[in-house]
């Protein structure tokens, strides 16, 4: 099934590539690579179905050319969005370089409004995508992966040992365990999957500014 999905994605990307050339919007693979922050040989691998686009690259296609992301995934035959259609997606992208700023902002909502956004098939509602940095969650989450998350309200029940994005004065993705006493939940123990190198640590509940529940992981090497 995954092989067929990759094949379909490559076919549609080829059609998009040829249409953009026919419309005079790009000249060749090198021009496409420059737009997507990549190289000629990488674009060739995508066209050949040996590699797929990253989420940031899909966002660039949507932003620059009004590409309908659902077309690339096979959920629509409409290659481009209508001019009157809004291009802002429902998933706010908080890349690695933006995370420190996000953690320190007094007005997180205003900060997020200025971040890029995108959409994915079958992912509805207001969601957030956090780019992961480092190897602390290997082997399950790698450097550069994206975690698609939903915002959870303070006081909402948590699930022990599930992965959450936790915002204190930093932004981290960790497995969470709840620490309670007779007065209720007091602390969170944050655990890394790469436990031989990274030890668990605890944060006071009042240190936690925001938490996000992980709904889906997108590999930096494969969006399918």
The whole-angstrom separation of Cα 48 and Cα 52 is 10
| Mean pLDDT for the chain overall | 85
Residue 179's pLDDT is what? 96
Q: Which of 108, 134, 126, 115 is nearest to 210 (CA)?
A: 108
Q: Distance from CA of residue 204 to its chain's centroid?
A: 27
Q: Which residues contact 54 (CB under 8 A, 6 or more apart)?
A: 220, 223
Residue 100's pLDDT is what? 62
Q: Is the model's pTM score more than 0.85?
A: no
Specify the DSSP class assigned to residue 44. H
Q: Distance from CA of residue 79 to its chain's centroid?
A: 22
Q: Which of 189, 117, 170 is nearest to 148 (CA)?
A: 117
Domain membership flag for residue 50: yes
Domain membership flag for residue 105: yes
Neighbours of 184 (CB within 10 A): 8
Give the DSSP H/E element, type plus range, for residue 152.
strand 146-152
Where among 45, 72, 99 does a domain terminate? 72
> Which SS3 state, helix, strand or coil, does residue 96 take?
helix
Task: Say how many CA atoms lie within 13 Å of 185 toward its Cβ.
Answer: 17
Residues 104 and 166 in one domain: yes
Residues 115 and 65 in one domain: no
pLDDT band at 223 (very low <50, low <70, confident <90, very high): very low
Lowest mean pLDDT among 54-63, 77-86, 181-190: 77-86
For the cut 70, the answer to whether the pLDDT of residue 104 exceeds it is no
Residues 55 and 102 in one domain: no
Range of the domain at 65: 2-72
**Rounded mean pLDDT, 106-121:** 71
């Amino acid at each position: 099934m995954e092989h067929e999905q990759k094949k379909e994605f490559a076919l549609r990307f080829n059609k998009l590539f040829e249409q953009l050339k026919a419309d005079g919007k790009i000249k060749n693979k090198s021009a496409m690579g420059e737009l997507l922050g990549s190289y000629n040989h990488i674009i060739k691998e995508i066209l050949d179905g040996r590699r797929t686009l990253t989420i940031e690259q899909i966002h660039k296609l949507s932003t620059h050319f009004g590409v309908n992301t659902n077309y690339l995934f096979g959920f629509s035959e409409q290659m481009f969005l209508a001019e009157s259609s809004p291009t802002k997606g429902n998933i706010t992208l908080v890349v690695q370089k933006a995370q420190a700023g996000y953690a320190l902002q007094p007005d997180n909502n205003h900060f997020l409004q200025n971040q890029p956004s995108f959409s994915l098939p079958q992912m509805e509602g207001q969601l957030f995508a956090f780019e992961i940095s480092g190897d602390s969650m290997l082997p399950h989450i790698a450097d550069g992966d994206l975690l698609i998350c939903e915002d959870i309200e303070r006081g909402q029940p948590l699930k022990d040992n599930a992965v959450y994005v936790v915002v204190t004065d930093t932004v981290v993705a960790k497995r969470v365990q709840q620490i309670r006493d007779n007065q209720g939940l007091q602390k969170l123990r944050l655990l890394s999957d790469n436990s031989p190198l990274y030890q668990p640590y605890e944060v006071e509940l009042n240190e936690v500014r925001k938490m996000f529940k992980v709904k889906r992981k997108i590999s930096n090497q494969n969006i399918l």
